[in-house]
Amino acid sequence: MTQGKVTYKPAEEVDFVIVGSGAAGGVLAKELSTNGFSVVVLEQGPYLRESDFNHDETKVFTQHLLTNEPKRQPVTFRKIPQDTAKTQTCVIYGRCVGGSSVHFTANYWRLHEIDFREHSKTGDIPGANFADWPITYADLEPYYTKVEWEVGVSGLAGASPFDPPRSKPYPMPPLPVKGCGVLFERAARKLGYHPFPAPMAILSQPRPGRSACMNCGFCLGFGCEFGAKSSSLSSVIPMAEKTGRCEIRPNSYVHRIEIDKKGRVIGALYFDAKRNTQLQRAKAVILAANGAETPRLLLLSTSNLFPQGLANSSGYVGKNLMPNSNVVTCGVFDEPLNDYKGFAVSRVLHDFYELDPKLGLYGGGGLDARYDFTPIAAALSGMPPGAPKWGADFKKTLRQNFTRTFEVFCHGTSLPVESNGFTLDPQVKDAWGLPALRMTFRDHPNDLKMMSWMKDRALELLDAAGAKTKWSNPVAEQEFVVHLLGTCRMGNDPKRSVIDADHRAHDVKNLFLCDGSSMVTSGRGQPTMTIQALAYRAADRITALAKRGEISG
């Protein structure tokens, strides 16, 4: 591919407008432009380059350089629909070209076969709005493999006895084991578990234009200056631009999907960098704005034809949010581990992926070894409960613990609950005058019980690893989420889902949705590998529909 960049005029009708350039949007842009279509990607955030990234914790975190900014785009929170929502930082996602894949931790697991047909196996669960996927693991397997090879995932095939079948090994070996990985692995084996090298969307070997991981240590929350983290920004977006058919248009905040009198989409309305409204015309629109902003856009796009919001005849837009349950446990050791260096996770175990039904718990999860605190974050929230918070004793504890601590992170299922999700706040507005996102969320009681069980396993593991001090965060109802899953789910039944198995909205022929919102179950954590596999598959399906004239015809 040798072609250069292209720009289109908003009035020019392109084949596809994609809203959002994150994990899913980047893949869709690359695939559709490679398949010969003209594509405009509208991204609300800036187009930052590797040279723009730095390790300034205060700037990155308090000035929200890479993420949604609570002041300009407030979000409100309530636990149940009867409560009044209050403004709260409860949702964080990447707001720049590359989306959340720019600053994420990069754990990259496939879902297992069970995740696609768990409802059939388990049956109904009281309080949960549980369903099977309209596709199987086998349908998605080739696309998981495509993610690993194209985007760049390091790992060791066959290392976990619980892994689902795969058609190809990983394209590169796992990243080196960290100090915490060695202790985790030894302790896990002592307890009879099966730890394995963590699959990561981080290069262990260089690729053209991208370095292997330099272990800079500012990974979670930061952009990678070396292109080693396999974000959409570093991997698929450059490929999309090289086709000469894809324009990435940053600082373009989409606030409405426009339709004609027949209810067909004609393009996306957005605020440009000068806050002028533009309409980018397209034969079809694909929303890939994530599990919070995709449903918000549909709810903002009401009309006489779609009074409940676009593509919302089921009433399912924004519902069934699944953020994955999680809890952090920590241990302090005698000897320095220096785990602040490098990427976050090098060992994981999936022995609890499918819990024994005799435990009375639904779902399952995994444990991983990590230290993802950067210095200021460690000082503010990484010390043991009861540790001194000020003065010489605080400094001593910080000096001692920063190099000697690691976390056993527990992650697991979230059950879909119909009242959990996103709606438009009736009072609070964003800086452009649009209704703010309102999140309603309370964990299903099973998920909290399951996390308590998992936390006990993590503390046992820290004991077996020889931790001198150990503690756990409380298992509590979540009020802050980063995995935004299930809010426009796919399904065969238009009354209980928003999109079909081709990612096409049941209600609108030339509207497609593909991002975290498409997922039907949450897996056991780390959803982005699946989001990108879905995007590769969606691009194939959409290409076939377009070539058969079944989108615009």
Ligand X SMILES: Cc1cc2nc3c(=O)[nH]c(=O)nc-3n(C[C@H](O)[C@H](O)[C@H](O)COP(=O)(O)OP(=O)(O)OC[C@H]3O[C@@H](n4cnc5c(N)ncnc54)[C@H](O)[C@@H]3O)c2cc1C
Binding mask 75-94 for ligand X (x = CB under 6 A): -----------------xxx
In DSSP terms, which residues pair with 280 in a beta bridge? 268
Distance CA(429)–CA(437), nearest Å, equals 9
19 binds, among ligand X, ligand SF4, none (CB under 5 to 8 A by kind): ligand X
Instruction: Select the binding partner of residue 224 from ligand SF4, ligand X, none (C-beta < 5 to 8 A, by kind).
Output: ligand SF4
Here the tokens at position 31 are 């695939």
- What is the spatial distance between Cα 447 and Cα 429, in angstroms, rounded to a whole number? 32
Q: Which lies closer to ligand SF4 via its Cβ, residue 8 or residue 371?
A: 371
Nearer to ligand SF4 among residue 206 and residue 435 (C-beta): 206
Separation of alpha carbons 179 and 422, rounded Å: 40
| Helices marked H in 302-390 | 375-381
CB of 409 to ligand X, least distance (A): 10
The nearest distance, CB 116 to ligand SF4, in angstroms, is: 30
Which of 316, 410, 307 minimizes the C-alpha distance to 366? 410
Residues 6+ positions from 328 with CB-CB distance below 8 Å = 407, 409, 410, 472, 473
Shortest Cβ 216–ligand SF4 spacing (Å): 3
Q: Is 528 in the site for ligand X (CB under 6 A)?
A: yes
Return the residue matching tokens 């396999």.
230
Is residue 101 a contact point for ligand X (CB under 6 A)?
yes
Q: How far is CA 26 from CA 21, 29, 109, in A?
A: 5, 5, 19
| Interatomic CA distance for residues 419 and 438, integer angstroms | 12
Q: Which is nearer to ligand SF4, 116 or 371 (CB)?
A: 371
DSSP H or E segment with residue 271: strand 265-271
The minimum distance between CB 313 and ligand SF4, in angstroms, equals 43
Of 535, 503, 539, 46, nearest to 248 by C-alpha is: 46
Beta-carbon contacts of residue 506 (< 8 Å; ≥ 6 apart):
311, 313, 314, 494, 497, 498, 499, 500
CB of 227: closest distance to ligand X in angstroms? 17
Q: Is 450 in the site for ligand SF4 (CB under 6 A)?
A: no
Q: Which is nearer to ligand X, 241 or 404 (CB)?
A: 241
Interaction between residue 229 and ligand SF4 (CB under 6 A): yes
Q: Which is nearer to ligand SF4, 1 or 376 (CB)?
A: 376
* Nearest Cα residue to 69 out of 52, 53, 86, 92: 92
- Count residues binding ligand X (CB under 6 A): 41
Residue 172: other Cβ atoms inside 10 A? 19
| Contact by Cβ (8 Å): 453, 420 | no
Asked if 323 interacts with ligand X (CB under 6 A), we say: no
Q: Which of residues 476-515 bind ligand X (CB under 6 A)?
A: 482-483, 515
The answer to whether 236 and 101 are in contact (CB under 8 A) is no
Which residue of 202, 246, 348, 475 would you call a contact of ligand SF4, by CB under 6 A? 202
Cα distance between residue 454 and residue 325, in whole Å = 10
- Interface with ligand X, residue 538, by CB under 6 A: no
Query: Which of 257, 301, 299 is closest to 17 using CA atoms?
Result: 257
Q: Which stretch binds ligand X (CB under 6 A): 211-219, 290-298, 312-320, 332-340?
A: 290-298
User: Two tokens at 150?
Assistant: 């194209």
Which of 343, 362, 406, 512 touches ligand SF4 (CB under 6 A)? 343
97 forms part of the interface with ligand SF4 (CB under 6 A):
no
Query: Does the protein bind ligand X through residue 297 (CB under 6 A)?
Result: yes
224 binding ligand SF4? (CB under 6 A): yes
Residue 423 contacts which entry, ligand X, ligand SF4, none (Cβ below 5-8 A, type-dependent): none
Binding-site ranges for ligand SF4 (CB under 6 A): 202, 213-219, 222, 224, 226, 228-229, 342-343
Binding-site ranges for ligand X (CB under 6 A): 19-25, 42-45, 92-95, 99-101, 103-107, 220-221, 253-254, 288-291, 293, 297, 482-483, 515-516, 526-528, 531
